[in-house]
Chain A
Amino acid sequence: MSNIDVTAKTYDLPWLARAMDWLAGDGAERAAGGLTRHLLLPAVGIGLFLMLWAAAASQIQTSLGQLPGPTQVWAQSVALWDEHREERAREAAFDERVEQRAERAIARGASDEEIAKIRARGYTGAPTFFSQIWTSLVTVMVGFLLASLIAIPLGILCGMSAAVYAAVNPLIQIFKPVSPLAWLPLVTIIVSAVYVTDDPLLAKSFIISAMTVTLCCLWPTVINTTVGVATVDRDLMNVSRVLRLSWFKQTVKIILPSALPMIFTGLRLSLGIGWMVLIAAEMLAQNPGLGKFVWDEFQNGSSNSLARIMVAVLVIGFIGFALDRGMLMLQRRVSWDKTAVLR
Chain B
Amino acid sequence: MSAYLSIDRVGITFPTPKGPLEVLKDIKLDIAQGEVVSLIGHSGCGKSTVLNIVAGLLEASVGGVLLEEREVKSPGPDRAVVFQQHSLLPWLSVYDNVRLAVDQVFGRSKSRKERHEWTLHNLDLVHMGHALERRPAEISGGMKQRVGIARALAMEPKVLLMDEPFGALDSLTRTHMQDSLLEIQARLNNTVILITHDVDEAVLLSDRIVMMTNGPSATVGRILEVDLLRPRDRLALAEDPTYHHYRAEVVKFLHERHAPAVGQSARAARERPTLRLAANG
The verdict on A244 contacting B89 (CB below 8 Å), with A239-B83, A253-B100 known, is no
Residues from chain B with a CB closer than 8 A to the CB of A197 are none
- A159 smallest CB distance to B (angstroms): 18
Residues from chain A with a CB closer than 8 A to the CB of B80 are 242
The verdict on A235 contacting B137 (CB below 8 Å), with A241-B57, A242-B81, A244-B104 known, is no
A245 pairs with B104, CB closer than 8 A: yes
Partner of A336, one of B57, B79, B81, B90: B90
Partner of A339, one of B57, B74, B137: B137
Most A CB contacts (10 A, CB to CB) among B80, B91, B101 go to B91
Chain B contacts to A: CB under 8 angstroms? 55-57, 74-77, 79-81, 83, 85, 87, 89-91, 100-101, 104-105, 135, 137, 155
B83 pairs with A238, CB closer than 8 A: yes
Partner of B79, one of A235, A242, A245: A242
B104 pairs with A336, CB closer than 8 A: no
A260 to B173, CA, bound (A): 33
Residues from chain A with a CB closer than 8 A to the CB of B77 are 242-244
Residues from chain B with a CB closer than 8 A to the CB of A150 are none
Residues from chain A with a CB closer than 8 A to the CB of B155 are 243
B87 pairs with A235, CB closer than 8 A: yes
Partner of A243, one of B83, B90, B91, B100: B100
A254 to B100, CA, bound (A): 11
Which residues, 315 to 343 on A, are CB-close (under 8 Å) to B?
A: 336-339
List the 10 shortest-distance A-B pairs measured between CB atoms, nearest first: A336-B91, A235-B87, A241-B75, A257-B91, A243-B104, A242-B75, A239-B87, A235-B83, A242-B81, A238-B57
A-B contact pairs, 18 of them (CB 8 A): A233-B87, A235-B83, A235-B85, A238-B75, A241-B75, A242-B79, A243-B100, A243-B101, A243-B105, A243-B155, A244-B75, A244-B76, A244-B104, A245-B104, A253-B100, A260-B91, A336-B135, A338-B137
Residues from chain A with a CB closer than 8 A to the CB of B81 are 238-239, 242
Most B CB contacts (10 A, CB to CB) among A243, A336, A339 go to A243
Which residues, 227 to 273 on A, are CB-close (under 8 Å) to B?
A: 233, 235-236, 238-239, 241-245, 249, 253-254, 257-258, 260
B89 pairs with A239, CB closer than 8 A: yes
Partner of A242, one of B55, B91, B137: B55
A241 to B57, CA, bound (A): 8
Total residues of chain A contacting the partner, CB 8 A: 20
A249 to B90, CA, bound (A): 16
Residues from chain A with a CB closer than 8 A to the CB of B91 are 257-258, 260, 336-337
Residues from chain B with a CB closer than 8 A to the CB of A338 are 135, 137
Chain A contact residues, majority secondary structure = helix
Map CB proximity to B onto A203-247 as digits: 1 under 8 Å, 0 otherwise: 000000000000000000000000000000101101101111100
Chain A contacts to B: CB under 8 angstroms? 233, 235-236, 238-239, 241-245, 249, 253-254, 257-258, 260, 336-339
Can you name the residue of chain B whose Cβ is closest to the Cβ of A238? B57
A244 to B103, CA, bound (A): 12
- B275 smallest CB distance to A (angstroms): 37
Partner of B89, one of A254, A260, A339: A254
- B15 smallest CB distance to A (angstroms): 17
Residues from chain A with a CB closer than 8 A to the CB of B87 are 233, 235-236, 238-239
A245 to B79, CA, bound (A): 15
A4 to B268, CA, bound (A): 52
A236 pairs with B137, CB closer than 8 A: no
Can you name the residue of chain A whose Cβ is closest to the Cβ of B136? A336
A260 to B91, CA, bound (A): 11
A84 to B138, CA, bound (A): 52
Can you name the residue of chain A whose Cβ is closest to the Cβ of B76? A244
A253 to B77, CA, bound (A): 17
Residues from chain B with a CB closer than 8 A to the CB of A257 are 89, 91
Residues from chain A with a CB closer than 8 A to the CB of B79 are 242
A260 to B135, CA, bound (A): 17
Residues from chain B with a CB closer than 8 A to the CB of A236 are 87, 89
Residues from chain B with a CB closer than 8 A to the CB of A245 are 104
A338 to B90, CA, bound (A): 10
Can you name the residue of chain A whose Cβ is closest to the Cβ of B97? A239
Residues from chain B with a CB closer than 8 A to the CB of A254 are 89
A94 to B248, CA, bound (A): 99
Residues from chain B with a CB closer than 8 A to the CB of A260 are 91
Residues from chain A with a CB closer than 8 A to the CB of B83 are 235, 238-239
B89 pairs with A337, CB closer than 8 A: no
A337 to B77, CA, bound (A): 28
Can you name the residue of chain B whose Cβ is closest to the Cβ of A334? B91
A243 to B75, CA, bound (A): 8
- A241 smallest CB distance to B (angstroms): 4
A245 to B104, CA, bound (A): 7
- A338 smallest CB distance to B (angstroms): 7
- A342 smallest CB distance to B (angstroms): 15
- Not counting A241-B75, A243-B100, A243-B104, a sample of 4 additional A-B residue pairs whose C-beta atoms are within 8 angstroms of each other reads A239-B83, A242-B75, A242-B79, A257-B89
